[in-house]
Structure 1
């Protein structure tokens, strides 16, 4: 893992010189050639390389040089002034030492020691609302002191005092002899998943039980300063754009650069899908499915399958799930594998998810993975902290789900039980859709379909599940669910004003014990069908065909796998009924328009 991160940093040109770290400079105190204070200049949004003494700056009397927090350089009140007096003195002392190489730094120290100048600088910082946590540096004659060649040469010599001393070991990253670091610089970017604001340690041995051969701290996992600088640069860059899944940062990269538009993993995670879709159900998708079009037109994938070169492709992918715990980086999962196999697995995942929308007019739109994960938690009508719940409830389930997606393996069985629980809660207490129709949550149904597709590949020579309702599917429970959807539609048309629908009363029991329920629903449907006008033949034929598809025996008790088939059959039959209803409505309007046109022409 460390070597892969180091190689990524080298390949992406992220490696900083040893002793440097990237920081955002919020403002520069500008001084003239004579040391006169000229004003405070806002910094750039991008991070710039700055001298960094590592964890030593977090304690004791030392601080980073040339660029530090405002609370140290120009305290806003007496409390900060007293608290950071020794650190400020250390900063001034290092400026004096650096001034031997670059005399202009003496002007910076003079400005920090002059009471009137300090007061003017603090007033300007207050006006700009730069609090004590913002990092500041200096400019002299319009040039940043961080960019002065003489200062950089001085820092290379000055930092030698902070380099580790002792016996050499082989670096775990490069394999080269090195004096290992006693403590490693913290990794930034995990504050949203339990990490500390100032960073978290990736290599840490602070308990005797974790140490061996008398070695202390990070020397138990020896790494050189230069090599770990590459690992830190890679992680800092990758974590900046990494999405959050179940309280973990999802970090992935490849051994060769890959354009974002062709990043298979980012697409599956939901890159480019607006955040506002996270809690909505995409039912009314257009007839053209974006994911399917992408698969059909993906030259990159075709190149992998046919061997025809498109451009230089990665050989391997790497995936890390990270969180922060008590100031340490917690590696929840690490996975690496062949890129071509990954591409095929992600294609299979999209095919497994392919499902008609609830109106039957097209396929479901792509969705962010974290939005899908919500459907694996107990359903709550009002949940403002849904992602906090996800971090607690799905942190153990998300890694095996991701592994199954990335490798094409079977999804955990917990996916079925959790998705079914979400659907039962929704069907018992959810809001009714148009025409009083209750529609199972499509994303929860997609979980069931994906799980069943992977099960079927073990049972049958070919997959039997399709995007729409399949009247020839061999599973009886699938058609039991479809038949319940037909019974519900018949009652809805026959008795539109009923308070408690057939689905409200019987869905929960039908999905568990269909043999005890379908007989009663059949008797009720005979009564309801008699009230239908114009649709009687359509519904009786569909009802009889669906009942025949069940076979000779109606299942007595359904196991979780069969319940998944039931829920999928119910959903897909509901989509078919809605599609047929929309088609009839469109045909009726077309005929009405045609008749109206004929009357006008006759008139």
Structure 2
């Protein structure tokens, strides 16, 4: 995985040199060449509602251990937050003042390499100038945590390279110089002999899924148990400092531009050879583009597979996909899943995913729209935030690799389907699709999207029977408050033998009532009940397993949808007949 991240960083020309990192800056403090305040400029797309600012690709950057080396309170160089650089925001604590003074100190030190920096240092000493800057930031509704840099006349120091050599010397001074006795090892990522980095840079971009705002460590060893063979800290996974910064740059770029958040996890992915957005099946599957329709992934996968098989897209044949599911925990990056495979296999598996999830629409007259991945995850709980991260990563693996769905997903979906039925809520197509897909991928069970009168499972037909008995009751007693479903569904779906016989006997009274008003309809119901009882067999099952309860729910739903479609068609035919009568 790490070597592929290094390959990604190289192909995309990311800044991987230690001591540098891309940073997004919101504000620019513009000074004259003599240090007078000219303006405070908002960077980025100012017309955009959530303007993040402008990204500078090569900013000086210190890691956390460098920021606190020797017990000194330090700031970053050239780019830092508004509260540090210009003391913007409430509070006057000693730590913030110490960082502010250190920011100025760095400018004064670096002026040996870039004399213009003295102008900025003097300006930041001026309390009146700082007050004017603070007022302008307040009028612009800036936040203290927004990053700010400065321009002196026509020069923006962060875009210059004149301070690079000084910056390298400064960082080496924080590290106390090179250790000539340091043990050289083979780098796990490059295979070259190197002095392994003692600690690795932290990954930013996971704060909203459990990570730390300052970053989380992907590779770290901080316990006594990790000191075997005299290997301390990250020497247990030897990587050069350059390799560590390269994988950090790749992961942060992927998290910023190619990630999809679902509840407590983020999914990032990329391809060996970059693709156009419209060919990125994972992005379409996850709903990364708002312009995509729900069926776009399925349709695009079909088109791309046809193109591959016809030889029209040879560049896709050898392409590979890579996908990571990440979250944060206690300052560490949690790699919940890692997948890789061919693009052709990916397209086949995404097609299979939608085929397995396909289910008849609740109206019974068409198939429901293919659900987006987020809808599938959200179908497992009342709120999508309640879905555990491990379940999300398992479902994503199922979609991408064609593996079986976890039993826990079936149990949660079944629980939500049961709740929908008992509260007479509209059926959630994704929940029913999960039941169907889980049964198919477990093997041994054949499931169609719509009603299958020839299905071999008695549990499936028990669900069908309950649907017909409920319809019979509604026809006979349209104003009943507590119907068959509300009273008996939970018991019937678990122990059908104890419940269905009693409901069938009660149904005779409903049939008698309907027969007195509409003999033909009563005969139709009798025939339907007899057919289903015949499909169940000689004995109604006593108890149902989790899989059989899922079959019961699907039989109930598909029978309801089938009957609803028939009723709609009958109503339409009746209306048409009445319209043509003279």
Task: Answer yes or no: same fold by TM over 0.5.
Answer: yes
Question: Alignment partner for residue 51 of structure 1, among 57, 60, 73?
Answer: 60
Counterpart position of 1:324: 328
Alignment of structure 1 residues 297-308 onto 2, 5 Å: 298-305=302-309
Report the more deviating stretch, 581-590 or 140-149: 140-149
Alignment of structure 1 residues 209-358 onto 2, 5 Å: 209-240=225-256, 241-272=258-289, 290=295, 294=299, 298-305=302-309, 309-313=313-317, 315-358=319-362
Partners of 1:484 and 1:261 in 2: CA distance: 45
- Classify the secondary structure of the residue corresponding to 1:425: helix
Q: CA deviation at 1:454?
A: 1.7
Alignment of structure 1 residues 137-156 onto 2, 5 Å: 137-152=149-164, 154-156=166-168
Partners of 2:234 and 2:287 in 1: CA distance: 37
Counterpart position of 1:501: 483
1:6 aligns with 2:2: no
Partners of 2:429 and 2:161 in 1: CA distance: 61
Counterpart position of 1:573: 559
Partners of 1:519 and 1:170 in 2: CA distance: 73
Per-residue CA deviations over 1:118-170 (Å, capped at 9, x if unaligned) read 33333333333334322211101133111124234543554444567332333
Counterpart position of 1:180: 196
Contact 2:462 2:552 in 1 (8 A): yes
Per-residue CA deviations over 1:241-284 (Å, capped at 9, x if unaligned) read 42233412122222221233222333333444699xxxxxxxxx
Q: CA deviation at 1:563?
A: 1.5
1:389 aligns with 2:386: yes
Question: Alignment partner for residue 517 of structure 1, among 474, 478, 499?
Answer: 499
Q: CA deviation at 1:106?
A: 1.8
Counterpart position of 1:423: 417
1:529 aligns with 2:511: yes
Q: CA RMSD in A?
A: 2.8
Unaligned runs of 5+ in 1: 276-287, 380-385, 433-438
- Classify the secondary structure of the residue corresponding to 1:252: strand
TM-score (norm 2): 0.88
Per-residue CA deviations over 1:4-38 (Å, capped at 9, x if unaligned) read 11212222333344321121212111111232221
Counterpart position of 1:557: 543
Question: How many pairs does the alignment contain?
Answer: 561
- Classify the secondary structure of the residue corresponding to 1:150: coil
Partners of 1:469 and 1:336 in 2: CA distance: 37
Q: CA deviation at 1:473?
A: 1.4
Q: Structure 1 residues 324 and 314 mapped into 2: Cα distance closer, same or farther (>3 Å)? A: farther
1:84 aligns with 2:96: yes
Contact 1:356 1:575 in 2 (8 A): yes
Partners of 1:373 and 1:78 in 2: CA distance: 42
Counterpart position of 1:436: none
Partners of 2:489 and 2:309 in 1: CA distance: 45
Q: CA deviation at 1:307?
A: 5.5
Q: CA deviation at 1:537?
A: 4.3
Q: Structure 1 residues 525 and 78 mapped into 2: Cα distance closer, same or farther (>3 Å)? A: closer
Alignment of structure 1 residues 18-33 onto 2, 5 Å: 18-33=18-33
Report the more deviating stretch, 491-500 or 45-54: 45-54
Q: CA deviation at 1:440?
A: 4.6
Alignment of structure 1 residues 56-205 onto 2, 5 Å: 56=65, 58-59=67-68, 60-76=72-88, 80=92, 82-152=94-164, 154-162=166-174, 165-166=178-179, 167=182, 168-205=184-221
Q: CA deviation at 1:355?
A: 0.4
TM-score (norm 1): 0.85
Per-residue CA deviations over 1:35-56 (Å, capped at 9, x if unaligned) read 2221211122232131112224
- Classify the secondary structure of the residue corresponding to 1:266: helix
Counterpart position of 1:278: none
Report the more deviating stretch, 442-451 or 52-61: 52-61
Contact 1:289 1:362 in 2 (8 A): no
- Classify the secondary structure of the residue corresponding to 1:62: coil
Q: Structure 1 residues 108 and 484 mapped into 2: Cα distance closer, same or farther (>3 Å)? A: same
Counterpart position of 1:40: 40
- Classify the secondary structure of the residue corresponding to 1:165: coil
- Classify the secondary structure of the residue corresponding to 1:23: strand
Partners of 2:464 and 2:306 in 1: CA distance: 37
Per-residue CA deviations over 1:335-375 (Å, capped at 9, x if unaligned) read 33333333322221111101011111222223343433344
Partners of 2:347 and 2:467 in 1: CA distance: 37
Unaligned runs of 5+ in 2: 45-52
Q: CA deviation at 1:104?
A: 1.7
